[in-house]
Amino acid sequence: MNLSTTVNADERINPLDVARTQFDQAVPFLGDVFDTPGMEELLFEPERSVVVHLPVLMDDGHIQIFTGFRVLHDHSRGPGKGGIRYFPTVDRDEVTALATWMTWKCALVDIPFGGAKGGISCDARSLSRREKARLTRRFITALGDNIGPYTDIPAPDMYTDEQTMAWVYDTYTMTHPGTNNLPVVTGKPLNLGGSVGRSTATAQGGVYVLAHFIELGGLPDMETLEGATVAIQGFGNAGRHAAHLLSDAGCVIVAVSDSKGGIYDPNGLDINRVMTHKDETGSVIDFVGVKQLDPGEVLEVPCDVLVPAAMENTLTRDNVDAVDTKVVLELANGPTTPEADAALDARGIPVLPDILANAGGVTVSYFEWVQNLDNEQWEEHVVQEKLRNKMHRATEQVVTKRAALRDAIDRYREEWADAHPDDGQVETPTLRTAAYVVAIGRCALATQQRGIWP
């Protein structure tokens, strides 16, 4: 199966256009921040884009050339931070969009990193383990000093995992001997400087955000997660752990999917058995006794919480009207197009945006980096308490910022309507726009405080 065509077979929405639209939607609310002409472009444009061509000796003896990318978007608040993905759709625009999202995400949860991202255009599922190791080592060697413990720190993303990060570390440290290089990459195995709680962090952070959003009264129909029905698209690191953690929190997981298809049972799936089935067969499909779904159908099943946890642009204008949920928890990066976002907002369905909902991963990556710098290993309860605090604080700041923006807009709207009786409505800011306003504001302030070199 061609992974690049499993979603949006009829449209390829450029993630960088989505990232720009999201940025532009926040700009009108940033007032003084863009006082200096050119500041807007400075904050949106990437600082550095590296493209490398990677010859790899394949198991059958032929040489294949892969193309890899690393983009450092912004380092105003600290070194670049962002995952490496191996996926057919990877190109410069996709990696740049993902790098901008990392900048806003790190700023929103207030960790001292900027944004970066990397990737190689390939179908990772067709590579053997040895081919994947050679590809990774060649990539890291080619990147050279474009990554480093104090400059740009990779992590896992789609179709890369802790084993991949172990190869990243080994390659970097073999070429930079004589110093502690553990902080050059996060998401490493526990035995090799990884942090307790990193593998579940993205999903766990999302669960903390969702639960706290409910506590703050964000979903008037829901007082607790207990009994809430959940549908999850994607059953990798983010989706699989979300299924497990939400099930532990008392939710009923009614549907899950992966790239091959989905499964649905309105009475709830036995998630432990689904995990075993996935491990044994490579997919959730063909799990017995439940309804089988096409990959996209999981987004349309009736549920209280919809969790896109696969890839970008899965909620689009073509399927958004069929969405039947009370809230969207974006564990994937960029799963909702601006048109789908507007449609969900018009229907009163809040979207907990990716830069908040999936920020648990980079937050525990930051904890791993701190532990590596100190040669320390924190206990699980320490990691969880720090993670929960970070996610709760960021959720409160987004909710508070949206309320403040809405108040301001309501006042402004009356003045506007009086002055322009025939013009359209002023747009009401969403949770995403509020999150962007907080995050961009922090990066802009850091940039102003540092000044423009020289």
Q: Is 183 exposed, middle or buried (0-12, 13-18, 19+ CB in 10 A)?
A: buried
> Which one of the listed residues 81, 105, 117, 401 is annotated catalytic?
117
Which amino acid does the sequence have at 344?
Answer: L
Q: Which part of the chain contacts ligand NAD (CB under 6 A), choosing from 170-178, 254-262, 374-382, 406-414?
A: 254-262
Please identify which residue in 151, 163, 173, 259 interacts with ligand NAD, judged by CB under 6 A: 259
Q: Around Cβ 217, how many Cβ atoms within 10 Å?
A: 10
Active site residue 117: yes
320-379 positions binding ligand NAD, by CB under 6 A:
331-333, 358, 361
| Binding footprint of ligand NAD, residue count (CB under 6 A) | 27
CA end-to-end distance (rounded Å), the chain: 51
C-alpha span between 172 and 193 (Å, rounded): 14
| Site for ligand NAD, residues 232 to 251, rule: CB under 6 A | 233-239
**Which residue number has the CB closest to ligand NAD?**
236
> Using CB atoms within 10 A of its CB, is residue 72 exposed (0-12), middle (13-18) or buried (19+)?
buried
Measured from the CB atom, the residue of 72 and 409 that comes closer to ligand NAD is 72
Using CB under 6 A as the criterion, what x/- string covers residues 86-115 for binding ligand NAD?
Answer: ------------------------------
Name beta bridge partners: 57: 63
- CB-wise, 6 or 447, nearer to ligand NAD? 6
177 to each of 174, 195, 280, 440, how far by Cα in Å? 6, 23, 40, 37
- d(CA 247, CA 269) in angstroms, rounded, equals 10
Which residue, 30 or 311, is less far from ligand NAD as judged by CB?
A: 311
Closer to ligand NAD at the Cβ: 212 or 240?
A: 240
Give the C-alpha separation, 236 to 52, whole Å: 27
Q: Which residues pair with 86 in a beta bridge?
A: 120
Window of 73-81, 151-159, 207-215, 422-430 that interacts with ligand NAD by CB under 6 A: 151-159
- Whole-number minimum distance, CB 385 to ligand NAD, in Å? 20
Residues near 129 by beta carbon (within 8 Å), at least 6 away in sequence: none
Tell me how far, at minimum, the Cβ of 85 lies from ligand NAD, in Å: 7
Q: Is 3 in the site for ligand NAD (CB under 6 A)?
A: yes
Q: Is 309 in the site for ligand NAD (CB under 6 A)?
A: yes
Radius of gyration of the chain (CA): 21
Closest contact distance (angstroms) between CB of 68 and ligand NAD is: 17
Among 19, 147, 310, 320, binds ligand NAD (CB under 6 A): 310
Angle of helix 15-26 relative to helix 431-450, nearest 10 degrees, comes to: 80
206 scored as a contact of ligand NAD (CB under 6 A) = no
Residue among 29 and 287 whose Cβ is closer to ligand NAD: 287
- Paired tokens of 277: 């089935």
Alpha-carbon span 453 to 451, nearest angstrom: 6
Residue with tokens 């449609």: 343
Query: Nearest Cα to 304, choosing from 355, 343, 268?
Result: 268
Shortest Cβ 335–ligand NAD spacing (Å): 7
**Nearest CB to ligand NAD, comparing residues 75 and 198:** 198
If one asks whether residue 121 binds ligand NAD (CB under 6 A), the answer comes out as: no
Q: Does 257 bind ligand NAD (CB under 6 A)?
A: yes
CB of 23 to ligand NAD, least distance (A): 18
φ, ψ at 60 (rounded to 5°): -85, 5
The pair phi, psi for residue 221, each rounded to 5°, is -80, -5
CB closer to ligand NAD out of 229 and 336: 336
Closest Cα to residue 235, out of 207, 263, 208?
Answer: 263
Of 186 and 447, nearer to ligand NAD (C-beta) is 186
* Least distance between ligand NAD and beta carbon 257 (Å): 5
List 143, 311, 352, 355, residue binding ligand NAD (CB under 6 A): 311
Residues marked active site are found at 117
Q: Which residues bind ligand NAD (CB under 6 A)?
A: 3, 6-7, 156-159, 202, 233-239, 257-259, 295, 309-311, 331-333, 358, 361
